[in-house]
Chain A
Amino acid sequence: DIQMTQSPSSLSASVGDRVTITCRASQSISRHLNWYQQKPGKAPKVLIYAASSLEGGVPSRFSGSGSGTDFTLTISSLQPEDFATYYCQQSYSTPPGFGQGTRLEIK
């Protein structure tokens, strides 16, 4: 199985900050990498698919990059509604594993 490792596990930031979350796969997954946002008590919501494609309706302050084993999710200017937990997920092979999550908190 492909293991997904996110860093950091948690992050404190302020409104307006630029934030980057990284995700590393245990083997190459090309660009088969998705990013999800989850708020407490809610279902996850897809933000980015295929490493860098923005899902419809997602604000352009979210962006993704990377290929192979190393990927990043960047939020260019944090908004109050962005404080949540973020997960990467590989869809290169079954089982489609998730990273352990990065909790983004208000500083």
Chain B
Amino acid sequence: QVHLVESGGGLVKPGGSLRLSCEASGFTFSDYYMSWVRQAPGRGLEWISYISSTGSDTYYADFVKGRFTISRDNAKKSVSLQMNNLRADDTAVYFCARDAAKRIGMMTVDLFDYWGQGTLVTVSS
């Protein structure tokens, strides 16, 4: 059974840093890309970053580029998000999600098929 469990959220002052972690179980972690997605209070879903299965490729949304860093440890089955220079508008629940690729005929489609329960990050003075 696939499980993703995030940790590391909390209250941090503007300009501060926080490191989120997501521990995976129930699947071959090293076979999958992983993503972080966030949701500000009362708002919609916002994709932040992904990391390839080996960790060699990463991609960031423009609004976190240069401030956030995604990494993974396949031996520990975990993915992390280092968040620096945090701003009030980074306040959100942060989810990690498994990025699966499903083949439909000649087409392969990516989807977020499993999600963690989320961890709340509050940026406030």
Chain A positions within 8 Å of B, measured between CB atoms, are 30-32, 34, 36, 38, 42-46, 49-50, 53, 55, 87, 89, 91, 94-101
In the bound complex, what is the Cα–Cα distance between A44 and B98 (angstroms)?
12
**CB distance B45 to A46 under 8 Å?**
no
Tell me the smallest distance from the CB of B112 to a CB of chain A, in Å: 7
Flag if A43 contacts B44 (CB, 8 Å).
no
User: Are A87 and B102 in contact, with the CB atoms below 8 A?
Assistant: no
Does the CB pair A43–B118 fall under 8 Å? yes
How far is A19 from B104 in the complex, measured between Cα atoms in Å? 26
Residues of chain B touching chain A, judged by Cβ–Cβ distance below 8 Å, are 35, 44-47, 50, 59, 61, 95, 102, 104, 107, 109-113, 115-118
Residues from chain B with Cβ under 8 Å of A96 in the complex? 35, 47, 110
CA distance A100 to B44 in the complex (A): 6
